């Protein structure tokens, strides 16, 4: 009997050698794919030399990126460092786009949104329409850390925060209240509200008018970080579009829109008109462009180009067919290369590398000019 025939007889007589069912085949294939991904991730990490921690954020994150880098230098994970970094901005009453002092919705109530994501595990946490708690990014982090869920909203998010002992606080500052009352008084000539002269002349209101003109601000802070072992994490936190419809949720707390993190590639986040970012899954799009080999700068510009081409309704376009709003993307790859880009020129982003001072950098832009409504404010 030949060796081949013996081997065939051996296989035929082995009761464990049988044709797999489709379900078994899928299970084996899935396990193999997971194992292959783990091997690639470990191989990538072991093949790359250690590097200084890096953090990138929106313009209002200059202090936050410095703190995030310091925390990574102390040994904490990038996602936790990012959350601790933005906590400084969430607690700043002078920043009216985030946390304490954020501008309220149309009814004068501050509603906060945030998310965070961990690159090594790809776990995430998020809150939306959270009222009464200053640090939504920290609440999102605890959702990621303590539960098997990702997003909690409204009253459910508030109950979760309360159960963990987060202090409940009044978030509407006097400054934000005055700006909201001015907005109500200027909305219409046929409703019951007016803006009295002393309110119009108030220094806080005048600064708001000079900075924003007729455009409602959409400020947010996004922060992405990578440590010396090339692990990546990030967070996005906001009070949302000023004077929004109560319950409105933009891109900031949505994984894949306002933030996306993948340890094999890097991280990205956004600020600006959230609905437009949601439509193209903005942060995920940036990361996928980087996965395909693009630099963080080119990946941000590529996602912005897709966003502009997806903007087709007349009320979002100016007379030249260009967006009448702005969006910024921020990105870094796992090697610590970072960039920011915007639809219109003039935006900046915050950057910090271990051993260096935190600094503002110019964003690349699709259009070489500043937004037309910004020209009117000069």
Give pLDDT, residue 5. Answer: 40
Helix crossing, 136-146 with 154-163: angle to 10°? 80
Give pLDDT, residue 83. Answer: 98
Q: At 352, give phi and psi (nearest 5°).
A: -150, 135
d(CA 259, CA 140): 13
* Cβ count near 43 (within 10 Å): 10
Give pLDDT, residue 47. Answer: 55
Q: State the sign of the Cα–Cα–Cα–Cα dihedral 57, 300, 220, 152.
A: negative
Nearest Cα residue to 215 out of 304, 345, 103: 103
d(CA 227, CA 353): 10
DSSP code at position 370:
B
Residues lower than pLDDT 50 in the chain: 1-46, 378
- Give the active site residue among 173, 220, 235, 285: 220
Active site residue 220: yes
> Using an 8 Å Cβ cutoff, are 305 and 348 in contact?
no
Give pLDDT, residue 114. Answer: 98
> Using an 8 Å Cβ cutoff, are 343 and 365 in contact?
yes
d(CA 303, CA 332): 14
* pLDDT 10s digits, 107-146: 999 999 999 999 999 999 999 999 999 999 999 999 999 9
How are the residues of the chain apportioned to helix, strand and coil, as percentages rounded to the nearest 5? 40, 20, 40
Nearest Cα residue to 81 out of 221, 230, 232, 219: 232
Per-position b or e across 298-334, b if 16+ CB within 10 A of its CB: bbbbbbbebbbeebeeeeeeeeeebbbbbbbbbbbbb
Strand ranges across the sheet with 348-353: 151-153, 124-130, 112-118, 232-238, 221-226, 54-58, 348-353, 359-362
> Using an 8 Å Cβ cutoff, are 32 and 20 in contact?
no
d(CA 165, CA 107): 27
Please state the pTM of the whole predicted model.
0.85
Q: How far is CA 252 from CA 70, 217, 336, in A?
A: 25, 14, 23
Nearest Cα residue to 349 out of 285, 268, 292: 268
Give pLDDT, residue 96. Answer: 93
Give pLDDT, residue 110. Answer: 98
- Cα distance from N-terminal residue to C-terminal residue, the chain: 94
Torsion angle of C-alpha atoms 16, 19, 23, 29, degrees rounded to 10? 80
CATH top-level class of 51-375? alpha beta
d(CA 255, CA 107): 27
SS3 state at 114: strand
């Amino acid at each position: 009997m030949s060796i081949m025939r013996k081997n065939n007889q051996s296989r035929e007589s082995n009761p464990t050698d049988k044709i797999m069912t489709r379900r078994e085949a899928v299970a084996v294939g899935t396990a193999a794919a997971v194992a292959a991904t783990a091997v690639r991730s470990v191989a990538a990490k072991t093949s790359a030399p250690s590097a200084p921690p890096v953090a990138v954020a929106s313009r209002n994150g200059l202090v936050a990126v410095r703190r995030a880098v310091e925390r990574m230098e102390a040994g904490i994970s990038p996602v936790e460092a990012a959350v601790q970094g933005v906590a400084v901005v969430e607690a700043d009453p002078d920043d009216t786009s985030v946390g304490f002092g954020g501008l309220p919705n149309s009814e004068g109530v501050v509603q906060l949104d945030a998310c965070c994501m961990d690159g090594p595990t790809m776990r995430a946490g998020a809150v939306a329409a959270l009222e009464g708690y200053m640090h939504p990014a920290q609440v999102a982090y605890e959702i990621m850390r303590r539960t098997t869920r990702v997003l909690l909203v409204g009253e459910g998010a508030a109950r979760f925060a309360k159960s963990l002992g987060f202090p409940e606080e009044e978030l509407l500052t006097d400054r934000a209240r005055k700006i909201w009352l001015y907005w109500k008084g200027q909305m219409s000539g046929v409703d019951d509200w007016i803006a009295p002269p002393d309110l119009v002349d108030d220094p806080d209101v005048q600064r708001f008018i000079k900075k924003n003109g007729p455009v409602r601000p959409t400020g947010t802070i996004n922060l992405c970080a990578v440590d010396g072992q090339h692990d990546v994490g990030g967070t996005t936190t906001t009070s949302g579009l000023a004077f929004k419809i109560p319950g409105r949720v933009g891109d900031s707390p949505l994984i894949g829109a306002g933030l996306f993190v993948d340890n094999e590639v890097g991280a990205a986040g956004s600020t600006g008109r959230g609905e437009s970012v949601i439509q193209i899954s903005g942060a995920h799009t940036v990361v996928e462009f980087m996965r395909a080999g693009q630099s963080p700068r080119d990946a941000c510009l590529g996602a912005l180009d897709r966003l502009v081409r997806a903007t087709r309704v007349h009320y979002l376009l100016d007379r030249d067919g260009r967006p009448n709003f702005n969006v910024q993307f921020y990105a870094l790859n796992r090697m610590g290369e970072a960039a920011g880009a915007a639809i219109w020129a003039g935006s900046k982003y915050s950057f910090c590398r271990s051993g260096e001072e935190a600094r503002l950098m110019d964003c690349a832009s699709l259009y070489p000019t500043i937004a037309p409504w910004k020209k009117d404010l000069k």
